[in-house]
């Protein structure tokens, strides 16, 4: 933001509902805080799941096998739409939409095998070996556009924009 936009939100002389700033020279249309609350849609949905399992087995005296596994999944979806009917927009400017999706999964497995024994009441043997394995991946997709002519569609048809110059799509995938 900048100083003249901050004055819109901080100036007590401006009414919250009107969309015309009479304090700016001969006046200017602006998006009041109330217009953002009434017209702009911003939704975020997040889901987080975490599963764990643990087992320990002693098949014979002194021999012990342990296994532990964890599965983690995270999803976040962001949907935002600023309609073309915002007060400060030009007549045919259209709406602005943003859609973002982010997913991450992680699988972690750890196994250990240990053996412990003693003999002759003087000697002890304690041996352990193990293996840890991890697999994770994440992907991110964002779509953004300006100039949507139908506010009813919102972010549901991101490709339905008249001018493809105002449309941006980015994605990434990471695994390990």
CA nearest neighbour of 161 among 176, 173, 144: 144
Q: Which residues pair with 168 in a beta bridge?
A: 144
Tens place of pLDDT for every residue, the chain, 176 residues?
Answer: 455 555 445 466 666 666 666 666 777 777 777 788 888 899 999 999 999 999 999 999 999 999 999 999 999 999 999 998 888 888 888 899 999 999 999 999 999 999 999 988 889 999 999 999 999 999 999 999 998 888 888 888 888 888 889 999 999 998 87
* Rounded Cα–Cα distance for residues 94 and 166 (Å): 11
In this structure, are residues 8 and 30 in contact, taking their beta carbons and an 8 Å threshold? yes
> What pTM value is reported for the model?
0.69
The pLDDT score that the predictor gives to residue 1 is 44
Report CA torsion sign: 11, 15, 16, 17. negative
């Amino acid at each position: 933001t900048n100083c003249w936009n901050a004055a819109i939100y901080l100036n007590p002389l401006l009414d919250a509902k009107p969309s015309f700033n009479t304090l700016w020279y001969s006046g200017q249309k602006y998006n009041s805080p109330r217009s953002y609350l009434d017209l702009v849609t911003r939704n975020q949905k997040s889901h987080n799941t975490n599963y764990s399992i643990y087992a320990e087995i002693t098949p014979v005296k002194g021999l012990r096998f342990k296994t532990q596994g964890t599965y983690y999944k995270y999803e976040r979806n962001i949907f935002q739409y600023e309609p073309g009917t915002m007060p400060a927009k030009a007549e045919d400017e259209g709406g602005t939409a943003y859609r973002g999706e982010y997913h991450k999964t992680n699988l972690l497995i750890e196994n250990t095998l240990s053996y412990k024994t003693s003999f002759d009441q003087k000697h002890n043997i304690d041996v352990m070996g193990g293996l840890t394995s991890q697999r994770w991946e994440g992907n991110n997709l964002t779509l953004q556009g300006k100039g949507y002519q139908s506010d009813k569609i919102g972010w549901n048809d991101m490709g339905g924009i008249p001018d493809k110059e105002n449309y941006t799509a980015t994605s990434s995938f990471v695994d390990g």
